[in-house]
Structure 1
């Protein structure tokens, strides 16, 4: 069952969409602000049976609240208590690396699995933390990606890796190669999580 709820964080109104399913969780904290991340998370969750939580801003100017300040509202608390490993999707706009996917987060083995699954895409996944810009590493303990039992992976995607359109549209359409790569990685992680049960 999918549940939607409005929440307010730091004076910003969000619409959250939560669907509880498997032990892997797909999280998009900045849907709409980082175009395509919510749609990408939803498609991957649908195809893999993963749990899903997205935050969008249906009204007002887009506001980016850093992940470490996304306070534990009810949907986020429910998501974190239900899942064992989180994959958090974000967008970066670094002009010097328009085809680089930075693969951060505290669960480094899971990060390498996802990076391997993305190697056939037109984008280059980077897992070496020293090669990932500090703000994109996703290692802070207050970042929700690291608050599930087995930590998580933060994927920082360039614009063209999260939407097939250079100008914003609603809904965004993530590129097939990226969707397929993340789906393959999540399925591998699902098998590993099930083996621990």
Structure 2
């Protein structure tokens, strides 16, 4: 596992990269969207997936949109090594406190994760028309879509990514969500290894 400091648009980030399996867990906004880095780390450890997290250890955290996260060395290594990405984000939609939006360009993999999340206390939404435009994760410059087979963007409400209503360090993701995403990632990995063309998932 490697840690490296990078600067993007004047903001200092600490990245943690562990190259492992062909599916990658990515948390671009670990300090802003609390619990996403910890959730990615736990799922990667359980599944043998590749891991990359970005946190901002000093100063007030800044949210840089995913499409502007420049290709720093850790992100380039991650995108080169993995074939499919599961990118974890947080949303604060007051009208959807128990909704997990399942976006990204790889819709078959999105459906696999949604099926696994259906057993959690949260409701997964996969229909792109029902996902707010800014949360769909479909832009080609979004890192979730820049691996060979694209990926899945999970937009998680606060209580799906931390068990603490008040921010703590480190955050503790809720076990049912960790378990569900772990199951989904394992299924995706099995399908990727079983078929010649990943798009047949």
TM-score (norm: length of structure 1): 0.99
CA distance in 2: counterparts of 1:188 and 1:59, whole angstroms:
37
CA distance in 1: counterparts of 2:68 and 2:115, whole angstroms:
30
CA distance in 1: counterparts of 2:192 and 2:108, whole angstroms:
13
**1:195 CA displacement:** 2.0
CA distance in 2: counterparts of 1:185 and 1:120, whole angstroms:
11
- Aligned with 1:7: secondary structure? strand
- Aligned with 1:30: secondary structure? coil
Runs of 4+ in 1 over 2 A off after TM superposition: none
**1:194 CA displacement:** 1.6
- Aligned with 1:16: secondary structure? strand
- The number of equivalent residue pairs is 196
CA distance in 1: counterparts of 2:84 and 2:131, whole angstroms:
21
- Correspondence for 1:159: 158
CA distance in 1: counterparts of 2:180 and 2:172, whole angstroms:
15
**1:32 CA displacement:** 1.2
- Aligned with 1:110: secondary structure? helix
- Correspondence for 1:101: 100
**1:56 CA displacement:** 0.1
Q: What pairs up with 1:30-69 in 2 under 5 angstroms?
A: 30-69=29-68
Q: Any unmatched runs of 5+ in structure 2?
A: 197-201
Q: What pairs up with 1:10-159 in 2 under 5 angstroms?
A: 10-159=9-158
**1:10 CA displacement:** 0.1
- Correspondence for 2:199: none
Give the RMSD, CA atoms, in angstroms: 0.6
**1:137 CA displacement:** 0.1
- Correspondence for 2:193: 194
CA distance in 2: counterparts of 1:154 and 1:113, whole angstroms:
13
CA distance in 2: counterparts of 1:25 and 1:117, whole angstroms:
17
- Aligned with 1:71: secondary structure? coil
Q: Any unmatched runs of 5+ in structure 1?
A: none
**1:11 CA displacement:** 0.2
**1:196 CA displacement:** 3.9
TM-score (norm: length of structure 2): 0.97
CA distance in 2: counterparts of 1:42 and 1:193, whole angstroms:
21
1:86-119 Cα deviation digits (max 9, x unpaired): 0000000000000000000000000000000000
